[in-house]
Structure 1
Amino acid sequence: MTPPSASAEAVAADGTATAPVAEPLLAGATPTADVTPGPASAAVPARTPSPATGGALVLVGMLLVALNLRAAVTSLGALLDEVRGGLALSGAMAGLVTTLPTIAFAGLGALTPWLVRRYPPARVLVVAMLALTVGQVLRVATDSAAVFVLTSALALAGIAVANILLPMLVKQHFPHRTGLVTGAYTMSLTIGTTVAAASAVPVAHAFGSWRAGLGVWAGLAAVAVLPWVPLALRARAARRAATPTAAVATPTRIRPGRTRLGWAMAVYFGAQSLSGYAIMGWLAQLFRDAGYAPETAGLLLAGVTALGVPVALAMPTLAGRLRTLRPLVLSLTVFSTASYLGLALAPHGLAPLWVLLLALGQGAFPMILTTIGLRARTAEGTVALSAFAQSTGYVIAALGPLLVGILYEATGGWTAPIGFLLVALVVQTTAGMVIARPRYIEDER
């Protein structure tokens, strides 16, 4: 299929779409009809390779990037004790390491629109994946705790930028296949998350060092660079061949932070991520407290992520076909509510059922990623909405594991922590009712 692209508008640092520019967002793309050009003549497009070929390369590149979006995080989580011992990390330093992902995703993700304004996304992704590769290599090559934290931050910076760009690339190249393509890359993300968490310890044991268990994922990040290099070169060639004078139009400002839709998206993203991080961080402990052996508790936790793979593929496709997302939002709420109540009242006897319901409820993550593309007309609107929703949402999400831990420590049980997750679910559902209605961020100014 021919991959339509974004309009020629640029995106400012705060998510503001400004006047059209001559440089294409990604080589091989053609402007969509979503944006009305300014009165000046448009730039003459450069001759590019087959769009179908470019679209296939973009899709492969997106899937490879998605495989890397959590591997550096979950592999470290699985080997944190070994890393603490090997680098003599203090408790405070270890806490900083575990908090770094949400800090990076919230802070650095917000810079992505500024980068896209100045450079084609293909070039930005090359740099992002190189940062992830180099960061992962350097952090296993050091004996310094401080350098380990800094190089981990470098790797996470690459992930933060890629987080924001993927929904935009779906909108730019596959606007009529939003659900299918989002499902494909979300499934890829889930597979990478699960495999990294499950294999980090065995790899470390096989090679006799935690460094191997972490460093192996640098190779996967390096592979993810490869599809984007020719795409970045095409973008540079198209820029050089374009007419020097670009069309000038009145700036169209896209500021999700000033809209009800933007905040509803951010709250929904934050609430579902809060619950997801809390579940990943504490579910195994809950099952151990319920009487399961540590190995069984770990398998039950792995079951949530494994069952999340088909959910990640199906949910975006379903969301893309529905005119209103209200039935989907409410169904996800029912699944999550049932799982939370089950964990509170009967965590031992029906654990596999609660795991299944948790996995279904966590379908809120692929759904919100799909909705980011569905609630914007253009790639520029998508990147602005993606940056705001994810950056703000990850700030909210950072509170999840922390507050669950505080409540668990204070009460010695799971009633209060699960009650907190139910409150977060109410907030999530309320925001979900807002984002469920068909509307576009470009219309809310």
Structure 2
Amino acid sequence: MKSAWASGLIVIGIVVAAFNLRPGVTGLSPLLDAMGTEIHLSAVFLAIIGMLPPLLYGISGFITPRLYNRFSGLTISLAVMIMITAGLGLRAIVDSPALFLALSVLALLGMGIGNVVVPPIVKSYFPDRVALMSTVHVGLLQLGTFIPPLVAVPLASQFEWRGSLLVWAVSAALGIAVWAVIAVLRPAPRSQVSATVVGGSELLRLVKTRRAWALMTMTGLTSFNNFILFTWLPSLLTRAGFDPAFAGAMLALVTAIPLVLGFVLPLLAQKMHTASPIVAAFCACLAVGYLGLWLMPQAAPVLWTVLLGIGISTFPLALTLITLRSRSAEASAALSGFVQGGGYLMAATGPLIFAFLIQSFDVMWPAYAVVLASTAVKFTVSFSACRPGSI
């Protein structure tokens, strides 16, 4: 297969895979009220559905390098698209909350595996264009996060809530078609992968590497704050006296900023000697945003939201660093699994801790103390995580 055609096909595959790794999550929450009128959604269901994404993303991070040890990244990507399509499609037509959760697990596990398998594919097929392809990967990932909550309710008004959910199953089904072609044609990678290293000694080496732990902590604490804001920002704003429509608009804004920055940060990270100044500036924005939301919410809510959005934009930067700081495709697979596995498990605790503190105390300072402390820790570890050279 000619190199140009092979590269173009892989680019299309990365685009459709990256876009479909988030809509099943962010396109659901605006529809929970509509679902509740037809299916009884208990408090336990709501707690579980909110915790499942980071939990399963974390588990996927640890199992995907093992899968990479036995199967090619192309085969795994096709399986990922099948899992997402089946899970999202079937859960949209069931009436049982338990079955809905089970099918969500299938879809989210596919998304989690997809999170980990894309970076080594980029490293294998575009070793000399890592920053550019990381921009494509991260940008489409953020786009797939931003669009679904904006269109979920309008789609539901036209096609009911089930139809709104099915849209993202159809989107993932297009990914099956693309990756089926890629899996059949099997274009040769430009950087050969020594698969035996991925699940064994390479992962063991990372466990003993301080910089790998630093990058995992930086990524995990970023997602820790991401999920807290995605879950609690509207509620915090309505508690401060703003109407729900404004709070919803601020949620869209806080997700839009990482989308925009996601198209810039990968190239910027490659050009800079170290990305730590970016992380330090973003940590400052996150801290000021939290302080403003806590102490002066009415003064400048849009400014606080913008600062919070900038603050959580270290996530696309962290994904880029996984690829940039890997010595090879197999090292990228292992590092991606280690960083995202541990990072997402850390992130899964965020909404639960924040909810417990808000509901257990009559004052807000314990909850804000936790997120500010997490920001300080992220700032501290970022110097090691962003240091130049391979991990």
Instruction: Letter of the 1:64 partner, please give it.
Output: V
For the pair 1:425 / 2:380, whether they are aligned, the reply is no
Determine the C-alpha separation between the residues in 2 that align with 1:247 and 1:129: 22
Determine the C-alpha separation between the residues in 2 that align with 1:285 and 1:397: 19
Please tell me the root mean square deviation across aligned C-alpha atoms, in Å: 2.1
Question: What are the within-5 Å matches in structure 2 for residues 176-325 of structure 1?
Answer: 176-207=128-159, 209-235=160-186, 253-254=201-202, 255=204, 256-325=206-275
For the pair 1:64 / 2:12, whether they are aligned, the reply is no
C-alpha deviation, 1:413, in angstroms: 4.3
Secondary structure in 2 matching 1:146: helix
C-alpha deviation, 1:278, in angstroms: 0.5
Q: Measured at CA, do residues 88 and 376 of structure 1 come closer, stay the same or move farther in structure 2, by a change above 3 Å?
A: same
Indicate which of 15, 26, 40 corresponds to 1:74. Answer: 26
Alignment correspondent of 2:43: 91
Residues 84 and 94 in structure 1, CA contact (< 8 A), matched pair in contact too: no
Instruction: Letter of the 2:210 partner, please give it.
Output: R
Q: Measured at CA, do residues 238 and 440 of structure 1 come closer, stay the same or move farther in structure 2, by a change above 3 Å?
A: closer
Alignment correspondent of 1:45: none
Residues 120 and 232 in structure 1, CA contact (< 8 A), matched pair in contact too: no
Alignment correspondent of 1:411: 361
Question: What are the within-5 Å matches in structure 2 for residues 35-184 of structure 1?
Answer: 49-184=1-136
Alignment correspondent of 1:400: 350
Residues 336 and 357 in structure 1, CA contact (< 8 A), matched pair in contact too: yes
Instruction: Letter of the 1:341 partner, please give it.
Output: L
Alignment correspondent of 2:310: 360
TM-score (norm 2): 0.93
Secondary structure in 2 matching 1:291: coil
Q: Which runs of 5+ in 1 are unaligned?
A: 1-48, 240-245
Instruction: Letter of the 1:57 partner, please give it.
Output: L
Cα displacement string for residues 205-242 of structure 1 (whole angstroms, at most 9, x for unaligned residues): 222x321121111010011122222221123x979xxx
Secondary structure in 1 matching 2:158: helix
Alignment correspondent of 2:296: 346
Secondary structure in 1 matching 2:387: coil
Determine the C-alpha separation between the residues in 2 that align with 1:206 and 1:195: 17
Residues 74 and 182 in structure 2, CA contact (< 8 A), matched pair in contact too: yes
Residues 61 and 339 in structure 2, CA contact (< 8 A), matched pair in contact too: no
Q: Measured at CA, do residues 403 and 153 of structure 1 come closer, stay the same or move farther in structure 2, by a change above 3 Å?
A: same
Q: Measured at CA, do residues 62 and 238 of structure 1 come closer, stay the same or move farther in structure 2, by a change above 3 Å?
A: closer
The structure having more radius of gyration, on CA atoms, is 1
Secondary structure in 2 matching 1:79: helix
C-alpha deviation, 1:117, in angstroms: 1.6
Q: Which deviates more, 92-101 or 365-374?
A: 92-101
Q: Which runs of 5+ in 2 are unaligned?
A: none
Determine the C-alpha separation between the residues in 2 that align with 1:90 and 1:114: 36
Determine the C-alpha separation between the residues in 1 that align with 2:313 and 2:41: 35
C-alpha deviation, 1:307, in angstroms: 2.5
**How many correspondences in the alignment?**
384
Q: Measured at CA, do residues 186 and 413 of structure 1 come closer, stay the same or move farther in structure 2, by a change above 3 Å?
A: farther
C-alpha deviation, 1:333, in angstroms: 1.4
Residues 28 and 165 in structure 2, CA contact (< 8 A), matched pair in contact too: yes
Alignment correspondent of 1:434: 384
C-alpha deviation, 1:247, in angstroms: 12
- When you count helix as a share of all residues, which structure comes out higher? 2
Secondary structure in 2 matching 1:398: helix
TM-score (norm 1): 0.82
